[in-house]
Amino acid sequence: MKILLVGAGLSNAVIGRELASAGHSIVIVDSRSHIAGNCHTERDRETGVLVHVYGPHIFHTDDKEVWEYVNRYSAFKPYTNRVKTTVKEQVFSLPVNLHTINQFFEKVMRPDEARVFLESKADTSIEEPKTFEEQALRFVGRELYEAFFKGYTQKQWGCHPNELPASILKRLPVRFNYDDNYFFHRYQGMPEHGYTKLVEKILDHPNIEVILNKKFERGDGAEFDHVFYSGPLDGYFNYELGRLGYRTLDFERFTFDGDYQGCAVMNYGEESVPFTRITEHKHFAPWEEHDKSVCYREYSRACGKDDIPYYPIRLVKEKELLAKYVELAKNQQKVTFVGRLGTYRYLDMDVTIREALDTAREFLLCMKNGRQM
Ligand code: UDP
């Protein structure tokens, strides 16, 4: 079969590879000049540092098959994400852990004491937190919420945390020990030569043709037996029902002789600081040596018509519009919508790959049984 994949990010790389291996002929188009979507990495010309062009991507998963899958296409180097945050002219460790709690409240509590202490700060009248703010007040109390989450979240999402779902904060744990690993997954690491090299390897198959700098038009699908579309869902329908809201990011690059901040990610919790965080990219590849450093100040704002979409907003208004687009999508013959933009969800890379593997398998099964996907 001849299959068109729109978008050369992780989703379609994986789907393309699986279907190519099964003997199908694959064409992948992408409107950008590079593969790998928003996890694209490249060498900074001036410093030689491997840069996460669209912001930091750290691979972490509990999914053994996904971990083995990515390791088949790239060597992975051990990497533990340790995030710091600057608030009130002090540096704290994230996610909130025993060090953060003791430092913040100027105490020397042991785990059980800290647990009881934090429970005394928590708003226990909130039984089932629905919003981001309720989740924070329920589990860490007002002081920590206001220091670490309120301002950052306001900047990141452009709205008050009481408008956001609790699920966003549930991504971050609270720890009553000194473990400052940002993620709690069995496997964590960085592809040794970056994500673009990883995706390049996945796509390296004689049945796969990649065409860059090519904007997809709906008619392009006509000569193919099936289309997997990983672009923005509303974009596929020419935004005919309106636009799904996204946040986009702006990066302000600067270089530094030596080590600028001593860690890969420094968040800034206060609203008075206009950026959310500074990433110092050489620390994402601690096995490399660089004298010169390159950093990005990261600013979040509403995504305009010509901007790159990053984070789907998914508030009530967007979910209503999403439901309408999902209805339209269901009526499309021979088109499958995949990935973060195609399904309008906040997906981590491991989940993206898991879903792509499952989608490819389902497609192959449908083919075998003579069914339409
Ligand atoms: N967050 C926060 N303060 C921080 C870091 C994160 O309030 O210092 C909130 C913010 O709303 C963010 C969410 O927690 O969107 C999830 O954080 P995560 O680090 O998973 O965000 P990502 O790296 O995906 O942008």
Indicate if 134 belongs to the active site: no
Percent above pLDDT 70 for the chain = 100
| Residue scoring higher pLDDT (46 or 373) | 46
Identify the residue whose C-alpha is closest to ligand 1 atom 20: 171
pLDDT band at 372 (very low <50, low <70, confident <90, very high): confident
pLDDT band at 284 (very low <50, low <70, confident <90, very high): very high
CA–CA separation, 308 vs 38, rounded Å? Answer: 9
pLDDT band at 170 (very low <50, low <70, confident <90, very high): confident
Sheet containing 226-229: give its strands across.
208-211, 25-29, 2-6, 226-229, 335-337
CA–CA separation, 343 vs 332, rounded Å? Answer: 14
Ligand 1 center–CA 167 separation, angstroms? 11
What average pLDDT does the chain have? Answer: 96
Position 355 scores a pLDDT of 98
Position 227 scores a pLDDT of 98
Which pTM does this prediction carry?
0.96
Position 172 scores a pLDDT of 82
ipTM of the prediction: 0.96
Q: Is the CB of 54 under 6 A from ligand 1?
A: no
**Could you say which of 123, 192, 209, 348 is catalytic?**
348
Ligand 1 center–CA 298 separation, angstroms? 13
Ligand 1 center–CA 170 separation, angstroms? 10
- Tens digit of pLDDT for each residue in 2-31? 999 999 999 999 999 999 999 999 999 999
Asked whether residue 373 carries a pLDDT value surpassing 90, the answer given is no
- Ligand 1: which atom is nearest the Cα of residue 182? 19
Position 317 scores a pLDDT of 86
Q: In order of start, what are the domains of the chain with their CATH numbers?
A: 2-40+192-243+312-368 (3.40.50.720), 95-170 (no CATH)
Q: Is the CB of 151 under 6 A from ligand 1?
A: no
**Could you say which of 43, 171, 301, 361 is catalytic?**
171
- Tens digit of pLDDT for each residue in 269-281? 999 999 999 999 9
Helix (H, G, I), strand (E, B) or coil at 252: strand
Pairing of strands 265-268, 246-257: unpaired
Q: Is 213 exposed, middle or buried (0-12, 13-18, 19+ CB in 10 A)?
A: exposed
Asked whether residue 217 carries a pLDDT value surpassing 90, the answer given is yes
- Best residue for ligand 1 mutational test, from 171, 267, 270, 315 (most atoms within 8 Å of Cβ): 171
Worst-scoring range by mean pLDDT, 78-82, 111-115, 314-318, 331-335?
Answer: 314-318
**Could you say which of 17, 138, 277, 354 is catalytic?**
277
